[in-house]
Amino acid sequence: MAAAPGIAAEVAKTLPKVDVVLVGFGWTGAILAQQLCDAGLSVLALERASSRSTPVTWATTFDQDELRYMWRHHLFQNVKYSTLTFRNNVNQTALPMRHLGSFLPGTGVGGAGIHWNGQIWRWLETDFKLKSHNEQRYGTAATADLTLQDMPLSYQEIEPYYDMFDKICGTSGQAGNLKGAKQAGGNPFEGPRSMPYPTPPLPMTFGPKLFEQAAASMGLHPFPHPAGNLSEPYTNPLGMQLGKCTFCGFCEKFGCGNYSKSSPQTTLIPYILTKPNFELRTEAEVLKIERSPDGKHATGVTYIDTAGVEYFQPAEIVALTAYQLHNVHLMLLSGIGQPYDPASGQGVVGKNYCYQTMSGVDLFFDDKLLNPFIGSGAMASVIDDYNGDNFDHSGLGFLGGAYIAGMITGARPIEMVRVPDGVPKWGLEWKRAGTKYFLRNMGLSVHGSSYPQAGNYLSLDPTYKDQFGRPMLRMTFDFPPNDLKMAKYCTDRATEIAQKMGATHVHPKPRTGPYDITHYQTTHNVGGTMMGENRTNSVVNKYSQSWDVPNLFVTGAGLYPQNPGYNPTGTLAALSFMTADAIKTRYVKALGAPLVAA
């Protein structure tokens, strides 16, 4: 690819130039690498941590050691090397997190795609026009306390890319809407799919079946959870072969040695590594995006290796594929885009940071064995009746919603010894109850939306520095009153289903404030590099291209102006396919030009 005119890089230890440099090699990095290598561009992926592969790192005989993986964070970002500071609101002083709990970013080749659950969702059609849709239906007062924003694209535009991701993953599920025709047994609220799921839905065990029967008897619409844990052997369009899930129950927070979980390693990376125009450089942490003197063109990135040697890697295109929190951090450190200021409401980088409002209901059955050790990351029966705007919010005092899932992901012996409320937390009584209910409990997951409010944002910390002497990322976040009301309402609905399931003990656990960053909820951090219609309300355009630096593309959940009640990866993967398409069909023909008029 020819260089854009007038660009010259002058930094020590300059390496040979590539067409595209990727900052991070997880889900979004792998998607861009595959798509752009196939289009003939030279692609270099810089990944801060080590290389990992299914047959070597997770051979089928490997020990699914819960202590090592789940509790000692063997696969997750290590706070010794990278952390952030946190406060609930602007009146507090943020402090560095010495242990990550609430969310667990990945590190190393494959990113968090290694240890994700494989819950693969699409947004509702209305989620793409969330602000205007809600204002039209409920009036402008309904959105006044929230900084909601529409996406600059529609469900119909992104649908072909959702379909691409489903085909790469071999997603198991039952369509509810095929080209506008409702399908029995699927999600009746979903937008039209161009194709059915590539593989049939996962079979369900007793617990999710009880949920399905109870929900159906209440007039709700249960369907099998869409899963990247495969129901049958599958070969994807790149020739990658996946096997049938064995319901080993060590899926969420673990790697899969069985080739049954869709991950970058099982669906994309072995294919990419055969490409002569691809290079992967591991243990290479990107410190900054470098720019031309006028600031309008990214010349490449500076990275550091484990020996502490710094390099300048020139590139014609820079793609930030480093997970939402790190993408925002690198944008702020590189001085690209105006940082958001909650006092004035000006600026966009770091704005609309949102999370996921998770609640649940615990169920214990005296008279039923559920055998929850038979589980997978996405084995569940789900209802979407209380998600998004699938129900009338008039008079409820909140917007948004949640999917409710009767889900069994396994029975990990430390994490999942659950006892009914009121049982002591230790001693003989706890042991007796733990033994009695180990095979007789399950949870309903209430997977709620997270909507933005002006005081929730990401910024550079004024005090604390990271291992390279740069300001740490600072998170300021608490659950908006809107989301807590939503969580209460949806947890009440889940409780009704739990009671109908005939559980002996039913314990609702609605989300309450303040937000506690120390206890695991989800790794669904979104916002901060929002996608939008123009440069004053967003960081990137609909093709994930920076408004300020047109040869910089930013991927991931940072693009979301708010978080609908779904897991994020289906949509961020689809957006990555859309970005790749725009780069290879349009951007390369007019290097340096904006794909949307600024």
Positions annotated as catalytic residues are 524
Which residues make beta-bridge pairs with 545? 553
- Considering only 214, 256, 325, 531, the residue that binds ligand SF4 (CB under 6 A) is 256
- Site track for ligand SF4 across 354-383, x = CB under 6 A: ----------------------xx------
Judged by beta carbon distances under 5 to 8 A according to partner kind, the member of ligand FAD, ligand SF4, none in contact with residue 248 is ligand SF4
- Considering only 57, 85, 258, 523, the residue that binds ligand FAD (CB under 6 A) is 523
Residues in the chain: 598
Reading the block at residue 238, the tokens are: 């790149």
Asked whether position 23 contacts ligand FAD by CB under 6 A, the answer is yes
To ligand FAD, the closest distance from the beta carbon of 395 in angstroms equals 32
Q: Which residue is nearest to ligand SF4 (CB)?
A: 251
Judged by beta carbon distances under 5 to 8 A according to partner kind, the member of ligand SF4, ligand FAD, none in contact with residue 569 is ligand FAD
Question: Residue 182 carries which side chain, given as an amino acid letter?
Answer: K
Q: Which is nearer to ligand FAD, 62 or 81 (CB)?
A: 81
418: helix, strand or coil: coil
- Considering only 28, 83, 229, 381, the residue that binds ligand SF4 (CB under 6 A) is 229
- Considering only 240, 245, 382, 405, the residue that binds ligand SF4 (CB under 6 A) is 245
Judged by beta carbon distances under 5 to 8 A according to partner kind, the member of ligand FAD, ligand SF4, none in contact with residue 561 is none
To ligand SF4, the closest distance from the beta carbon of 169 in angstroms equals 11
Q: Which residues contact 243 (CB under 8 A, 6 or more apart)?
A: 230, 233, 258, 259, 260
Asked whether position 70 contacts ligand SF4 by CB under 6 A, the answer is no
Residue-wise over 31-67: b if at least 16 C-beta within 10 A, else e? bbbbbbbbbebbbbbbbbbebbebeebbeeeeebebe
To ligand SF4, the closest distance from the beta carbon of 253 in angstroms equals 10
Q: Which is nearer to ligand FAD, 143 or 236 (CB)?
A: 236
Judged by beta carbon distances under 5 to 8 A according to partner kind, the member of ligand SF4, ligand FAD, none in contact with residue 258 is ligand SF4
Could you tell me the CA-to-CA distances from 423 to 79, 86, 427, 447, 540 in Å, in that order? 34, 33, 10, 27, 51
578: helix, strand or coil: helix
Query: Measured between alpha carbons, how far is 496 from 564 in angstroms, rounded to an integer?
Result: 23
- Site track for ligand FAD across 299-328, x = CB under 6 A: ----------------------xxx--x--
Sheet holding 457-465, edge to edge: 95-96, 84-87, 471-476, 457-465
Asked whether position 251 contacts ligand SF4 by CB under 6 A, the answer is yes
Q: Say what the alpha-carbon torsion angle 592, 19, 46, 351 is, to the nearest 10 degrees.
A: 10
Residues touching ligand FAD, count (CB under 6 A):
41
Query: Measured between alpha carbons, how far is 363 from 334 in angstroms, rounded to an integer?
Result: 49
Query: Measured between alpha carbons, how far is 180 from 555 in angstroms, rounded to an integer?
Result: 30
- Considering only 33, 37, 83, 115, the residue that binds ligand FAD (CB under 6 A) is 115
Asked whether position 267 contacts ligand SF4 by CB under 6 A, the answer is no
Q: Which is nearer to ligand SF4, 246 or 534 (CB)?
A: 246
Query: Measured between alpha carbons, how far is 575 from 558 in angstroms, rounded to an integer?
Result: 11
Show the beta-strand stretches assigned E in 547-590.
552-554
Query: Which runs of consecutive H residues, i.e. helices, occur in 170-299?
Result: 206-217, 264-267, 269-272
Query: Measured between alpha carbons, how far is 198 from 524 in angstroms, rounded to an integer?
Result: 25
To ligand SF4, the closest distance from the beta carbon of 51 in angstroms equals 20
Q: Which residues bind ligand SF4 (CB under 6 A)?
A: 229, 245-248, 250-251, 256, 258, 260-261, 376-377
Q: Which residues bind ligand FAD (CB under 6 A)?
A: 23-29, 46-49, 104-108, 111-113, 115-119, 252-253, 285-286, 321-323, 326, 377, 523, 556-557, 567-570, 572
